[in-house]
Amino acid sequence: MAKLTFVGGIHPYDGKELSKDKPIKAVLPKGDLVYPLSQHIGAPAKPIVAKGDHVLTGQMIAEAGGFVSAPIYATVSGTVKAIEPRRVVTGDNVMSIVVENDGLYEEVEYPAVKPLDEMSKEEIIERVKDAGVVGMGGAGFPTFIKLSPKEPEKIDYVIANCAECEPYLTSDYRRMIEEPEKLVEGLKVSLKLFDNARGILAVEDNKPDCVEILKKLTKDEPRISVKALKTKYPQGAERQLIYATTGRKINSSMLPADAGCVVNNVDTIVAIYHAVIEGKPLMNRIVTVTGDAIEDPRNFIVRIGTNYHELIEEAGGFKKDPVKIISGGPMMGFGIFDLDVPTTKTASALLCLTEDDVSKMEPSACINCGRCVEVCPGRVVPRLLADYAENYNEEAFLAHDGMECCECGCCSYVCPAKRPLTQTIKSMRKMQLAKKKK
């Protein structure tokens, strides 16, 4: 059988050996916790606490600020110290709730949960919504919206994105090794919403142990299958994943639901499990702290709001001076200039590198080698798009499907002339998207 995959893609050094065998360790925050009101796509959450209020672990401190939005919960007990703009990983200042940790971790009483069988579909969606679950793979799209498409009976596949194709990241891997039951249960919860759907656990084949564990766990689940995908970046990109597992294609203007699919990543599905089965809101996530500058690369379960400095400390600090620190993976993460930022719902990793390929390698003239075209999973011509973007030729940019770029970074990665193709195309896309909104 041909391997399940897509056309294009790259095979960068994956760096996963640094942290893949390190069990998930819980980190207790020491300093203040910072909760940006915008850590999801959509309207910022609205604070429902005021300066000086005492809050408990698991207490809602900001409610959804619109339909496409998500509430935010305190992850420690303590006092609201301020509601003020704070810096986040992207470098922006975002209005945030700052909570001083009293170190007691007093928890609220979580509402009683009904057994899954007795819950209606609406109740399940309501719980996911109230728990503030958003896409934790990086996008941060509110999960309840994904779970409530217009025609739920037309959903054929619920796909668990366990590809983890970004180099260095091992958080999903550890989750699958250590708590595979939660993943499978979470998937079963999602499947309850879609009567005609089958569940797919899509894992890259560089994680054969996960494939085996998940297969064993789901051997008596007729609706769930485990699919091993070819290891290739960006196998976990939503459109490529849907294509690899189902053969269906969607473009930038479509939602997975248009192809009868619902896709969620590992941590998100585990959050669904916590929300629906245990009645707990989204309060923590797994973060891989790694890179050749880190003394002891590790996977941590982190309370949202925890400062990045503390994560570095927990990983033994720096053994060499980092030149570049990235929030997320090296292909799509953000380069950050300040570690004084909080862990958010979408922060998958903290990668500290002692060498920066980007500043080390100077861009030169394009030699038309065509590698960008070969690797582009969006099947566009990055070389041309970058030219159009540089000359601000909107018409040609749009005519050559510039908006179909998924910003995965493959073109910049392979470019022998070291041209910043992704960045150039991305800027143009941002401008076009901003124009559209007007």
Partner 1 sequence: MSDLMKVSSNPHIRSKASTSSIMLAVVIALLPAAGFGIYNFGLDALILIVVTVLTTVLTEYIFEKLMGKKVTIGDYSAVVTGLLLALNLPPKAPWWIGVVGGVFAILVVKMLFGGLGQNFMNPALGARCFLLISFTSIMTNFDCDAYTGATPLAALKAGESVNIFNMVVGKTAGTIGETSMIAIVIGACFLILTGVIDLRIPGSYIVSFVIFISIFGGHGLDFSFISAHLAGGGLMLGAFFMATDYVTRPITMKGQYVYGILLGILTGIFRIFGASAEGVSYAIIIGNLLVPLIEKATLPKAFGKGGAKA
Which residues ranging from 397 to 426 are in contact with partner 1 (CB under 8 A)?
400-401, 404, 407, 409-410, 412-418, 420, 422-423, 426
With CB under 8 A as the contact rule, the residue among 181, 195, 258, 390 that binds partner 1 is 258
Question: What count of residues does the chain have?
Answer: 438
Q: Say which amino acid occupies 42.
A: G
Instruction: Pick the binder of partner 1 from 13, 23, 50, 438 (CB under 8 A).
Output: 13
- Is residue 251 within 8 Å of 380, Cβ to Cβ? no
305, 34 contact by CB (below 8 A): yes
CB distance 326 to 348 below 8 Å: no
Task: Enumerate residues 276-315 that contact partner 1 by CB under 8 A.
Answer: none
User: DSSP per residue over 170-233, as a string?
Assistant: -HHHHHHHH-HHHHHHHHHHHHHH-TT-EEEEEEETT-HHHHHHHHHHTTT-TTEEEEEE---B
Q: From CA 157, how far away is CA 224, in angstroms rounded?
A: 10
Least distance CB 374 / partner 1 (angstroms): 7
Among 126, 230, 334, 387, binds partner 1 (CB under 8 A): 334
Q: Which is nearer to partner 1, 152 or 335 (CB)?
A: 335
Our finding on whether 254 is near partner 1 (CB under 8 A) is yes
Count of residues interacting with partner 1 (CB under 8 A): 74
By CB under 8 A, what part of segment 177-236 binds partner 1? Answer: none
Instruction: Specify the DSSP element, H or E, that contains 67.
Output: none
| Least distance in angstroms from the C-beta of 17 to partner 1 | 16
The residue among 12 and 58 lying less far from partner 1, judged by its C-beta, is 12
Amino acid (one-letter) located at 89: V
Q: Smallest gap, in angstroms, from Cβ of residue 410 to partner 1?
A: 8
Contacts of partner 1 in 109-168 (CB under 8 A): 167
Least Å from the CB of residue 325 to partner 1 = 6
Of 117-125, 126-134, 295-303, 360-368: span binding partner 1 (CB under 8 A): 360-368
Cβ 333 to partner 1 shortest distance, Å? 6
Q: How far apart are CA 198 and CA 256, in angstroms?
A: 15
Instruction: Give the dihedral sign, CA 349/134/267/131.
Output: positive
Contact 181, 214 (CB under 8 A): no
Q: Figure out which of the listed residues 28, 104, 139, 369 binds partner 1, where binding follows CB under 8 A.
A: 369
Q: How far from the centroid of its chain's Cα atoms is residue 210's Cα?
A: 19
Helix, strand, coil percentages in the chain from 3-state DSSP, rounded to 5: 30, 20, 45
| Near partner 1 by CB under 8 A: residue from 4, 5, 9, 10 | 10
Judged by CB under 8 A, which of 247, 365, 392, 438 binds partner 1?
365
Interface residues for partner 1 in 35-94 (CB under 8 A)? 91
Beta carbon of residue 347, minimum distance to partner 1 (angstroms, whole number): 15
Instruction: Classify residue 62 by its DSSP letter.
Output: E
- In the complex, what is the shortest distance from the CB of residue 412 to partner 1, in angstroms, rounded to a whole number? 5
